[in-house]
Chain A
Amino acid sequence: GQQLNQSPQSMFIQEGEDVSMNCTSSSIFNTWLWYKQDPGEGPVLLIALYKAGELTSNGRLTAQFGITRKDSFLNISASIPSDVGIYFCAGQLGGGGNKLTFGTGTQLKVEL
């Protein structure tokens, strides 16, 4: 099935640094979601974006819905060790009942 492209694939940063990752698609989506997955766990919703151009924050996390509706980025400020994990974007065409298309994932490792 279709997947969204995420970059970078992985990143290794120092504690306290800011992190930026993005997600692109060849198709338009009406909703963008960002999830974090820890090893052996299910994804946990971080931020949901519903309008093109929307910028939303959740604590140290900020995400934006691209104007073209084909991309989104996620920023993490002042990273801490518990930010370690895999971050997935997901695009959705319709409402909450419509299926999600997941990105390829960005693995974040934080060095103390």
Chain B
Amino acid sequence: NAGVTQTPKFQVLKTGQSMTLQCAQDMNHEYMSWYRQDPGMGLRLIHYSVGAGITDQGEVPNGYNVSRSTTEDFPLRLLSAAPSQTSVYFCASREMFSTDTQYFGPGTRLTVL
């Protein structure tokens, strides 16, 4: 049971490049989400999904796209990276009707030059 896995661990992009941050969980959790963490800002919700085929926007969705084709995977896409997207990105999952424990992945540190 690997929990929540994220790849890559580190990434450097140039402004305007695109990339996909991968997230997978093996706990059969319906609810998955993406957060970004910036110094002194805490974690802010980007997008979330309550099940395969269903996604919605969080607090800071601009510049990011998501899709959920399977229960296990929830990739985050940056279509045209900007320096303001330099951050640490965390994927998380939990059971849909339980807020008690949300499991976070180890994070992806992204730098946009």
Q: Do A and B come from one complex?
A: no
User: Residues on A close to B: CB < 8 A?
Assistant: none
User: Residues on B close to A: CB < 8 A?
Assistant: none
